[in-house]
């Protein structure tokens, strides 16, 4: 498929854990930015501090703490319903910035006891400052399932430790919001990758083989989406990659469709202020805005109301308002960052990518999320 020059996304398949989609009409750096953004900039909650009242298991405290940190906790909507603990006014964690879990298990039988995520109990965190209205709003937005181990109620729970008769684990865990740029335990994805040019027309790969290259190398998964080159087809020196076949697998902390949308939002959060700053510089140069040393609260910089880059309403999650207030138009070269075209489904309520950030309540599997 030749590039149309217009960024587009086509959703190929989506289930609870895996999303497969194509990006076309963009540079490879753009596709890779989305991949990295989804992997490293989407917030989840994970256990960050563990205190031990009792550990008579054969495993050392640090070993168990490490295992606990890597357990995916349900984090749907925490981007909008929880505060980073370093930004909170509390001293040691409160309901606005922390999820509290306990694990208290003792083996009393003759057979070894498997301690799993089913034994983790979410308890009430200390209440935050009642006068903190912003914090109260966060609690109102929070999905009731946030903080429970992912896969709750399912048969196969994650094993934490095994206890013999008389051994006990009595632990309190503090889980905070974070991103995987700071620690991999906060990653919402267990895997994310893309492939391009499945028939190697661009000759970016050089396959080693003994007798027959085609027989010895299985075709790429995306090979069915592009036509094979004909036997007499000449190598095109000017050809560039145009379609990137992405596959993202979630940990269960956040529905994978939300990870894709939040990945775009994180990119927009980074690029939006830069676009504004660029416009401000141009407007100052051309005398439409006061210089920075002449700027006051009253004449603070505002982009022009009819500015083509920001004025049109966006299809962004159906809400028409992006998290940083910027509203890119379809004509903007940045439009795909803020209002991705999901193969004709513009991220609205009917999109298979799910609801917007302000509507975290719908659960795809009842109480599982
Ligand atoms: Zn707090």
Question: Given this model, what pLDDT does residue 83 score?
Answer: 95
Instruction: Show the domains of the chain with their CATH numbers.
Output: 1-42+188-196+241-369 (3.30.1360.10), 45-181 (2.170.120.12)
Residue labelled with tokens 């729970």: 157
Q: Which residues pair with 20 in a beta bridge?
A: 13, 247
CA–centroid distance, residue 128 to ligand 1 (Å):
6
CA–centroid distance, residue 64 to ligand 1 (Å):
25
Neighbours of 167 (CB within 10 A): 20
Question: Given this model, what pLDDT does residue 344 score?
Answer: 34
Q: Which of 29, 5, 4, 7 is nearest to 337 (CA)?
A: 7
CA–centroid distance, residue 233 to ligand 1 (Å):
63
Neighbours of 316 (CB within 10 A): 25
pLDDT of 81 strictly over 50: yes
Q: How many Cα atoms within 13 Å fall on the side-chain side of residue 364?
A: 19
Question: Given this model, what pLDDT does residue 305 score?
Answer: 56
Q: What is the pLDDT of residues 322-341, one digit of tens each?
A: 444 444 433 333 333 333 33
* Angstrom distance (rounded) from CA 51 to CA 163: 19
Is residue 137 within a helix (H) or strand (E), and if so which, with residue range? helix 133-141
Question: Given this model, what pLDDT does residue 304 score?
Answer: 65
What is the arithmetic mean of pLDDT over 215-232?
Answer: 91
Tokens linked to 122: 């979410």
Cα maximum dimension of the chain: 83
pLDDT of 239 strictly over 80: yes
Instruction: Give me the sheet containing 189-195, strands edge to edge.
Output: 8-14, 18-24, 243-250, 189-195
CA–centroid distance, residue 75 to ligand 1 (Å):
17
Is residue 103 a contact partner of residue 169, using CB atoms and an 8 Å limit? yes
* Angstrom distance (rounded) from CA 20 to CA 342: 12
Tokens linked to 306: 């009819």
CA–centroid distance, residue 85 to ligand 1 (Å):
5
Burial class (CB in 10 A: 0-12, 13-18, 19+), 102: middle
The phi, psi pair for 262, rounded to 5°, reads -70, -30
CA–centroid distance, residue 176 to ligand 1 (Å):
10
CA–centroid distance, residue 367 to ligand 1 (Å):
26
* Angstrom distance (rounded) from CA 204 to CA 191: 23
CA–centroid distance, residue 142 to ligand 1 (Å):
15
CA–centroid distance, residue 97 to ligand 1 (Å):
4
CA–centroid distance, residue 40 to ligand 1 (Å):
23
- Min mean pLDDT across 119-128, 195-204, 288-297 is at 288-297
CA–centroid distance, residue 45 to ligand 1 (Å):
14
- Min mean pLDDT across 3-17, 233-247, 298-312 is at 298-312
Question: Given this model, what pLDDT does residue 350 score?
Answer: 37
* Angstrom distance (rounded) from CA 329 to CA 335: 6
CA–centroid distance, residue 80 to ligand 1 (Å):
15
- Min mean pLDDT across 166-175, 189-198, 305-314 is at 305-314
What is the arithmetic mean of pLDDT over 63-86?
Answer: 95
Q: Which residues pair with 49 in a beta bridge?
A: 174
CA–centroid distance, residue 53 to ligand 1 (Å):
23
CA–centroid distance, residue 321 to ligand 1 (Å):
27
Question: Given this model, what pLDDT does residue 296 score?
Answer: 77
Residue labelled with tokens 């087809």: 233
Burial class (CB in 10 A: 0-12, 13-18, 19+), 269: middle
CA–centroid distance, residue 95 to ligand 1 (Å):
6
* Angstrom distance (rounded) from CA 39 to CA 316: 21
CA–centroid distance, residue 173 to ligand 1 (Å):
15
3-state secondary structure of 228: coil
pLDDT of 1 strictly over 50: no
CA–centroid distance, residue 177 to ligand 1 (Å):
11
CA–centroid distance, residue 269 to ligand 1 (Å):
24
What is the arithmetic mean of pLDDT over 3-24?
Answer: 87
Q: What is the pLDDT of residues 275-308, one digit of tens each?
A: 888 888 888 888 877 787 777 777 777 766 544 4
CA–centroid distance, residue 87 to ligand 1 (Å):
8
CA–centroid distance, residue 132 to ligand 1 (Å):
10
**Helix 256-285 and helix 28-40, axial crossing angle in degrees, nearest 10:** 120
Query: Given pLDDT bands bounded at 50, 70 and 90, which one contains residue 356?
Result: very low
pTM for this model (two decimals): 0.76
Question: Given this model, what pLDDT does residue 321 score?
Answer: 42
Instruction: Check residue 354 and give left, alpha or beta (phi > 0: left; psi -120 to 50: alpha).
Output: left
Query: Given pLDDT bands bounded at 50, 70 and 90, which one contains residue 112?
Result: very high
CA–centroid distance, residue 91 to ligand 1 (Å):
7
Is residue 101 within a helix (H) or strand (E), and if so which, with residue range? strand 98-106
Q: What DSSP string runs through 276-294? A: HHHHHHHHHHTTSS--GGG
Is residue 192 a contact partner of residue 248, using CB atoms and an 8 Å limit? yes
């Amino acid at each position: 498929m030749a590039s149309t020059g217009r960024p587009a996304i086509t959703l190929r398949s989506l289930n609870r854990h895996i999303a497969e989609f194509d990006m076309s009409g963009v540079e490879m750096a753009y596709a890779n930015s989305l991949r990295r953004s989804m992997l490293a900039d989407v917030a989840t909650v994970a256990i960050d501090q563990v205190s031990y009242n009792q550990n008579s298991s054969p495993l050392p405290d640090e070993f168990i703490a490490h295992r606990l940190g890597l357990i995916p906790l349900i984090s749907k909507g925490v981007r909008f319903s929880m505060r980073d603990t370093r930004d909170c006014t509390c001293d040691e964690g409160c309901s606005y910035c922390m999820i509290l879990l306990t694990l208290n298990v003792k083996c009393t039988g003759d057979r070894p006891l498997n301690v799993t995520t089913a034994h983790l109990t979410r308890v009430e965190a200390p209440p935050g400052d009642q006068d903190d209205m912003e914090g109260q709003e966060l609690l109102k937005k929070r999905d009731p399932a946030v903080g429970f181990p992912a896969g709750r109620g399912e048969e196969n729970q994650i094993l934490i430790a095994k206890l013999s008769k008389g051994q006990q684990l009595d632990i309190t865990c503090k889980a905070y919001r974070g991103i995987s740029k700071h620690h991999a335990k906060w990653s919402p994805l267990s895997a994310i990758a893309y492939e391009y040019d499945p028939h190697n027309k661009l000759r970016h790969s050089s396959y080693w083989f003994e007798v027959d290259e085609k027989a010895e190398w299985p075709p790429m998964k995306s090979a069915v989406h592009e036509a094979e080159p004909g036997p007499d087809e000449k190598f095109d020196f000017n050809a560039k990659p145009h379609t990137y076949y992405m596959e993202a697998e979630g940990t269960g902390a956040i529905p994978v469709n939300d990870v894709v949308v939040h990945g775009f939002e994180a990119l927009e959060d980074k690029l939006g202020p830069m676009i504004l700053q660029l416009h401000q510089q141009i407007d100052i140069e051309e005398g439409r805005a006061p210089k920075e040393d002449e700027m006051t609260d009253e004449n603070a910089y505002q982009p022009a109301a009819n500015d083509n880059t920001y004025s049109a309403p966006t299809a962004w999650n159906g809400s028409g308002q992006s998290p940083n207030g910027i509203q890119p138009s379809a004509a903007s070269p940045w439009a795909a960052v803020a209002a991705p075209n999901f193969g004709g489904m513009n991220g609205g309520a009917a999109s298979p990518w799910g609801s917007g950030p302000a509507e975290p309540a719908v659960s795809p599997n009842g109480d599982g999320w």
